[in-house]
Amino acid sequence: MELDDVVRKIKKLLAIAEDPSASDQEIQLAAYRAEKLMFKYKLDRKDIIEKDDSSKNVEEYYFEKKYTAYLVWTLMSIAEYCQTQAFYNGKLNSKAYLGIIGFNDDIILCKEIALPILDYMEDTLIDLKTCYIGEVDFRIFKRNWCEGFASGIKTQLDKGFIELKEEEKFEVSIIDLPPAVKVYIDNNCKTNTSHFKRNSTEGYELGVAMGSKYNFNDKRGIK
């Protein structure tokens, strides 16, 4: 594990240890793991603070190509576990640019997790459309599938870890957005809430099944 990755992990553990909403067990476990990593890599809290210089400014990142905007629901689930905020620029029922708001190192982590998933979902939607024989309009099926896939991914994240590399697991835990990121979002972003009636149970259930079985360690997404 590279030093920057170690520092990033220690920072997240320390954030949990200082989170008043965390349970006593979560606080103790996070503090223990942070101290263990600092001892192993011969770091102290001063080193962690000095390494944090790149995280002072809140940034916006856009993925290079447009995606089906419904994929933002999956990106939101991933972003939540990386202390970032996902967003889209465009119409929700069309193609749009997806993006992430947060500190630089958190954005990098979110990108690493999210990009293969977004590409997998986009390719899968093309295949589903090609072989679709359902009675419901495919546009409705697609929306419900994306909703279900996001739910399936969230189920995996809720288990507390995901595999990013061979024999290496990245622990995830919901930590509230940093105050600076919250202020940036409040001052620069417009929030829209969309409500849909689920018209395709088949699409949603297929999405849940595929999202919950997605393999984070394989770019093809197959377990």
Q: Which of 174, 127, 119, 117 is nearest to 149 (CA)?
A: 117
Helix (H, G, I), strand (E, B) or coil at 95: strand
102 contacts 58 by C-beta, under 8 angstroms: yes
Q: What is the pLDDT along the chain (223 residues), one digit of tens a residue?
A: 577 778 878 888 887 887 777 788 888 888 888 888 888 888 887 767 655 544 468 999 999 999 999 999 999 999 988 889 999 999 998 999 999 999 888 899 899 999 999 999 999 999 999 999 988 899 999 999 999 999 999 998 887 655 544 444 455 555 567 777 888 888 888 766 665 566 668 999 999 999 999 988 776 666 5
pLDDT of residue 164: 47
Q: Which of 87, 118, 85, 120 is nearest to 221 (CA)?
A: 120
Q: Which of 27, 48, 28 is nearest to 39 (CA)?
A: 48
Cα separation of 79 and 202, whole Å? 27
Cα separation of 185 and 179, whole Å? 10
Cα separation of 204 and 26, whole Å? 33
Cα separation of 119 and 138, whole Å? 20
pLDDT of residue 109: 87
